[in-house]
Amino acid sequence: MLLSKLTAISVTTCVALFGIQAAFAQDTQPAADDAIGPQAVPARAVIELFTSQGCSSCPPADIVLQSYANDPTVIALSFPVDYWDYLGWKDTLGSARNSERQRAYAKARGDGAIYTPQVVVNGTTHVNGAQTADIKSAIEQTSKTLAPNRVPLWFWQERNTLNIAAGAAGTGRNFKEATIWLGVVQSSASVDIKRGENAGKTLVYTNVVREMTPIGLWKGQAMKIQIPRAAVMMADTQKSIVLIQEGKAGPIIAAAWTGLF
């Protein structure tokens, strides 16, 4: 399903919202005995699926995303949108912020392509979310292109605090100011669809982003951010994600998971 209208996303720094403490440091990597589950496997790709319960073409893409969620080197995320709600079924997981994120990508790329199911790979390339071969190709191509620009990132829970530590830009690397995004994620959701194009189906969603908020800017220096775990807890969410993304909707140069429990 295709949507042609474009609107701009507004990104602001939300440090005060979470009571975040940020500090710059030369060495921010967590010690293994101090961290609870620091990021051990670098993510080679972030896959964002823009999907809708009101889209008959989306269930196959939801299944494809679930298969990628089992790969420890891939961060696979579902972003349910709300712009098909008028067709007869209001997406129970959809949000205007997810729709805005998809529009921001279309504006940044300059192609205006907004549709479901749409997968955006590493913040740069979009493909049909049901086409496994196209997703695989996009992962391989963007991973190679972005490899020189990757930023070391650690994300771990220690007692009641979420810790984010980002490394510095590589020597001689030209970088753009990057947004640090914090998302809270529901691992799985099962929804019985009563009306619309998928009426009568029970659909299962994987790694549903319930909230994605900009929490700061990375400017090429090593830095550490601490967030009270209670500040990001939401009903039904089990884990959280951090992305470092050039500009507001550009290439994703770092990503990491951590649990909330």
DSSP-assigned letters across all residues of 188-239? EEEEE--SSTTTT-EEEEEEEEEEEEEEEEE-SS-EEEEEEGGGT--TT--E
Q: What is the pLDDT of residue 233?
A: 83
Mean pLDDT to the nearest integer, 222-231: 90
| CB 260 within 8 Å of CB 157 | yes
| CB 168 within 8 Å of CB 222 | yes
**pLDDT above 60: residue 142:** yes
Q: Which tens digits make up the pLDDT trace of 91-101?
A: 999 999 999 99
pTM of the model: 0.86
Confidence of residue 17 (pLDDT cuts 50, 70, 90): very low
